[in-house]
Structure 1
Amino acid sequence: MTPRLFAALPVPEIFHKEIRRLQKGVPGARWRPSANFHITLRFFGTMDGKQAEDLDAELASIAMPPFDLTLQGSGWFGKLDPHSLWLGLRPSEPLAELNAKCERAARRAGLEADSRKFHPHMTLAYLQGTPIEKLTRFAERTGGFVTEPWRATHFTLYSSQLSRGERNIYEPEADYPLL
């Protein structure tokens, strides 16, 4: 199976224990393991080796300084048919700029434009059959969640493969420094 590729900012380990404490009380939630805590910048999908090399070169050419990020708040995607639970991020112009630069890199590497609006988040769980009232309670309990700011000094190109247990395994393929 060909891996799927995406660019993301890893969430520092210093916050993993605090985030893991939030992962409870939601029936139908498949909680993400700490190793999968990241903020997706751009999902690229599957591609051949040449296109992946072109994408790597384009991502490596991205230049921008390090910037601060803060996880803040929670919510879910799927309104009345929820499919994933997330932690949000404090609004950040540099984060939006890095997303735009990853999008331009993808286009230069020959990929189609991403039609989805960028909504920066860290996925906490995938959901199946979760009642809305349980999600509302979770959002009330975690809506005030906020981390200390951290400095994003690099972003990473990850590959994703589905394991036997229907869990995605993410492997870092390349790191790109923010200088």
Structure 2
Amino acid sequence: MTLRLFAALPVPDSLHADIRRLQKGVPGARWRPPENFHVTLRFFGEMDERRAEDLDAELAHIVMAPFELALSGSGWFGKLDPRALWLGVRPSEELLQLNAKCERAARRAGLEPEHRNFHPHMTLAYLQGTPIEKLTRFAERTGGFATEPWRVTHFTVYSSWLSRGANNIYEPEADYPLL
């Protein structure tokens, strides 16, 4: 059996209502449900159970203190062919350090290096056929959006399952405390 895994920081339930209020006015948007709100640290991809166990052992060795994080601003990926709408993350040196530690753990577990630059964000919607002018209006309306900071006390590895509906199913597989 293979698993499709990624490490992420779950967005606290206390922020879901404010985020949900932003999810309107963009044609072609497939809005993410609150249970899928997270900030990805590292996408690991498909692997067999043995490799997943190796990855779990490496991630369990990550030592880092809890830190504060907040969402701030918005934008989209795919400049001229928009594919995803996102909320940004307020700059955080600790978040960059945690991403780097997850990357090193992945390499120690035998995974290929991540070739994309880390762009911390929370995916708000996937897009299909959305006009740029609608995204520009959305970005103008939500560009000043910011959440109160929350304390990050752990990160989670999720498995991702494709569903027949518009949304993937993300299942938490393991939590790793920050002490």
TM-score range, shorter chain: over 0.9
Structure 2 residue aligned with 1:49 = 49
Q: CA deviation at 1:80?
A: 0.5
One-letter identity of the residue aligned with 1:99: N
One-letter identity of the residue aligned with 1:76: W
In the alignment, does 2:19 pair up with 1:19?
yes
* Residues 80-95 of structure 1 aligned to structure 2 (within 5 Å): 80-95=80-95
Q: CA deviation at 1:167?
A: 1.9
Scaled by the length of structure 1, the TM-score of the pair is 0.98
Distance 1:141 1:166 in 2: 25
Distance 1:43 1:34 in 2: 20
Structure 2 residue aligned with 1:70 = 70
Q: CA deviation at 1:2?
A: 3.5
- Deviations 1:68-94 (CA, angstroms, capped at 9, x unpaired): 001000000000000000000110000
Structure 2 residues not aligned, in runs of 5+ = none
In the alignment, does 2:109 pair up with 1:109?
yes
Structure 2 residue aligned with 1:38 = 38
Scaled by the length of structure 2, the TM-score of the pair is 0.98
Structure 1 residue aligned with 2:126 = 126
Q: CA deviation at 1:163?
A: 1.0
One-letter identity of the residue aligned with 1:49: E
In the alignment, does 2:10 pair up with 1:10?
yes
Structure 1 residues not aligned, in runs of 5+ = none
Identity across matched positions, percent: 80
Aligned pairs, number:
179
In the alignment, does 2:142 pair up with 1:156?
no
Structure 2 residue aligned with 1:176 = 176
* Residues 138-153 of structure 1 aligned to structure 2 (within 5 Å): 138-153=138-153
What SS does structure 1 have at the residue aligned with 2:55?
A: helix
Instruction: Report which stretch shifted further, 1-10 or 92-101.
Output: 1-10
Q: CA deviation at 1:127?
A: 0.1
Runs of 4+ in structure 1 deviating by more than 6 angstroms, as ranges, are: none
Please say if residues 2 and 49 of structure 2, whose CA atoms lie closer than 8 Å, have aligned partners that are also in contact: no
One-letter identity of the residue aligned with 1:142: T
What SS does structure 1 have at the residue aligned with 2:2?
A: coil
Distance 2:99 2:70 in 1: 16
What SS does structure 1 have at the residue aligned with 2:47?
A: coil
One-letter identity of the residue aligned with 1:97: Q
One-letter identity of the residue aligned with 1:157: V
One-letter identity of the residue aligned with 2:37: F
What SS does structure 2 have at the residue aligned with 1:51?
A: helix
